[in-house]
Amino acid sequence: MHIAVVGLSHKTASVEVREKLSIPEPQLENAIAELTSYPHIQEAAILSTCNRLEIYIVTESTEQGIWEVIQFLAEHSQLGSPILRPHLFILLHHDAVMHLMRVAAGLDSLVLGEGQILAQVKTSHKLGQQYKGIKTILNRLFKQAITAGKRVRTETSIGTGAVSISSAAVELAYMKMENISTCKITILGAGKMSRLLVQHLVSKGAGRICILNRSLRRAEDLAKLFSEHPIQVRPLAEMLPVITESDIVFTSTSATEPILERGNLEPIVCSNRGLMLFDISVPRNVHSNVNELEHIKAFNVDDLKAVVAQNHESRRKMAQEAEGLLEEEVDAFDMWWRALETVSTISCLRHKIETIREQELEKALSRLGSEFGDKQQEVIEALTKGIVNKILHDPMVQLRGQQDVDARRSCMQALQMLFNLDVETV
Ligand SMILES: NC(=O)c1ccc[n+]([C@@H]2O[C@H](COP(=O)([O-])OP(=O)(O)OC[C@H]3O[C@@H](n4cnc5c(N)ncnc54)[C@H](OP(=O)(O)O)[C@@H]3O)[C@@H](O)[C@H]2O)c1
């Protein structure tokens, strides 16, 4: 079995491409079922965020497994593999393992060290198990990566400063419009990213915020978290009249189609006011055709790169500290992986010896007849089990602990030959 990851991220593809590949949560079950129905994909997990789409697989044949993932991506995005391929990265075994650890730790994020990615890796692990894409190997890999992500955040200072895509978007807005405290600011969406938007906006002194959401209740709950600030709430249906009065609009909903576009903004944008749009959603909530409007300036997640460059510089040292820690987690996974290879030989050996023990015990007890009561029989049974366990203990420990791949494989072959083990049938 081999582990591989095929994917694309903010480093390899623009938001225009990423949004076509994004797999929203409601589509995950079907996507996992489709992936695992390919003949060479034994396990599959999907990590779909605003910055990346990554598919982790366990496959008997790396070449075939990867080809099947690319087929799946081409069909899903309808981009066709020649267009898709230049944006894809492919990593195998050790590199794939290290990559997931780095992703979980926030070291591969657009905003270095951001905390949201760890929760997204956890969700991907949970849903992958629920939809039966994640089995033994990816389960262990994701668990190890989550441990790595937690350790990096608790044992290094990379997570300090509460950085996120939302904080970068607020920073960009602040750079573009210094008088943010007097601006009328509208936020579309009331989820996790909107909460962070509000948090950073109020810390920058923004005083005129209105949250609009499909469910008004959720917008009200969000406003209550900042009850010392006069935050207004409105249903999303009222967005156009509210935007008419706004200077800045942030969009952060999980809508899969644009909410704002030239058609609905053109009639409401006032020439002497102007409007800035900051869209942190992927797929985007703001259509690129709004840039055709003279009085609108629209920014999306890819435009945050300029802001985060500064953040990267100051966090590079902390990231180096974290990389060392990740090596330890990769080693722990590798050790488990190596031990896994020995499982079938060990179970086969145990099964054979256990069968001999049971047969010989039965013969002996039947020869002894009724002379031995239950108590004596139990003692003899415990004695045989004890002898078997003690004999098997050392070879098993030696085999599992053998670090050298070739030496370990020779030991397994020797055991299989000497004990005449049929590993395939157990
Ligand atoms: N989570 C992250 O770390 C992260 C980072 C960067 C960017 N983003 C992007 O930011 C966006 C929001 O992410 P999130 O984590 O904040 O999501 P979330 O917590 O799940 O919240 C989703 C929000 O989107 C609204 N929504 C969902 N479908 C909608 C539709 N069809 N029309 C209008 N509103 C809709 C929901 O409204 P209801 O309350 O009415 O359901 C809710 O306000 C996504 O595009 C995501 O890719 C997320």
Q: Determine the pLDDT at residue 74.
A: 94
For the CA of 214, the nearest atom of ligand 1: 40
pLDDT tops 80 at residue 191: yes
- The predicted model gives 290-316 an average pLDDT of 87
Q: Determine the pLDDT at residue 406.
A: 83
- Distance CA(287)–CA(289), nearest Å, equals 5
pLDDT tops 60 at residue 426: no
Q: Determine the pLDDT at residue 112.
A: 86
Contact 281 CB / ligand 1 (< 6 Å): yes
Q: What percent of the chain has pLDDT over 90?
A: 69
Cβ(394)–Cβ(402) below 8 Å: no
The tokens for 210 are 């209105």
- Distance CA(85)–CA(87), nearest Å, equals 5
Strand partners, 4: 57, 92
Q: Determine the pLDDT at residue 335.
A: 83
Q: Which of 32-36, 181-185, 193-197 has the lowest mean pLDDT?
A: 181-185
CA-angle at 199, arms to 198 and 205, nearest 5°: 85
For the CA of 253, the nearest atom of ligand 1: 24
Query: What is the pLDDT confidence band of residue 195, given thresholds at 50, 70 and 90?
Result: very high
Contact 191 CB / ligand 1 (< 6 Å): yes
pLDDT tops 70 at residue 216: yes
Query: What is the pLDDT confidence band of residue 236, given thresholds at 50, 70 and 90?
Result: very high
Pairing assessment for the beta strands 41-48 and 2-9 based on DSSP bridges: unpaired
- The predicted model gives 251-256 an average pLDDT of 96
What's at 252, amino acid-wise? S
Q: Determine the pLDDT at residue 162.
A: 65
Atom 3 (ligand 1) nearest CA: 116
Q: Determine the pLDDT at residue 271.
A: 67
Q: Which of 2-11, 69-78, 361-370 has the lowest mean pLDDT?
A: 361-370
- 215 Cβ contact partners less than 8 Å away, ≥ 6 residues apart: 190
- 20 Cβ contact partners less than 8 Å away, ≥ 6 residues apart: 77, 78, 79
Contact 214 CB / ligand 1 (< 6 Å): yes
Probe residue for ligand 1, chosen from 47, 103, 254, 304 as the CB with the greatest number of ligand atoms within 8 Å: 254
- Distance CA(85)–CA(74), nearest Å, equals 9
- The predicted model gives 355-378 an average pLDDT of 87
Of the candidates 233, 232, 235, 284, the one whose C-alpha atom is nearest the C-alpha of residue 259 is 284
The tokens for 5 are 């990851």
Q: Determine the pLDDT at residue 320.
A: 84
Query: What is the pLDDT confidence band of residue 308, given thresholds at 50, 70 and 90?
Result: confident
Exposure b/e, 172-193, CB count within 10 A at least 16 = b: bbbeebeebeebbbbbbbbeeb
Please list the alpha-helical segments (H only) found in 58-135.
Answer: 62-77, 81-84, 93-105, 116-130
- Give distance in angstroms: CA of 425 to centre of ligand 1: 49
Measured in degrees and rounded to the nearest 5, phi and psi for residue 214 equal: -60, -50
Contact 192 CB / ligand 1 (< 6 Å): yes
Question: What average pLDDT does the chain have?
Answer: 92
H or E segment to which residue 344 belongs: helix 343-368
Q: Determine the pLDDT at residue 214.
A: 97
- The predicted model gives 375-383 an average pLDDT of 90
Q: Strand order of the sheet with strand 248-251?
A: 232-235, 208-213, 184-188, 248-251, 275-279, 296-300
Q: What percent of the chain has pLDDT over 70?
A: 99
For the CA of 195, the nearest atom of ligand 1: 16
Query: What is the pLDDT confidence band of residue 388, given thresholds at 50, 70 and 90?
Result: very high
Probe residue for ligand 1, chosen from 172, 211, 252, 300 as the CB with the greatest number of ligand atoms within 8 Å: 252
Whole-angstrom distance between the N-terminal and C-terminal Cα of the chain?
A: 18
Which of 160 and 115 is assigned the larger pLDDT? 115
Query: What is the pLDDT confidence band of residue 423, given thresholds at 50, 70 and 90?
Result: confident
Distances (CA, A) of 420 to 129, 235, 357, 423, 424: 37, 72, 17, 9, 12
CB atoms within 10 A of CB 109: 23
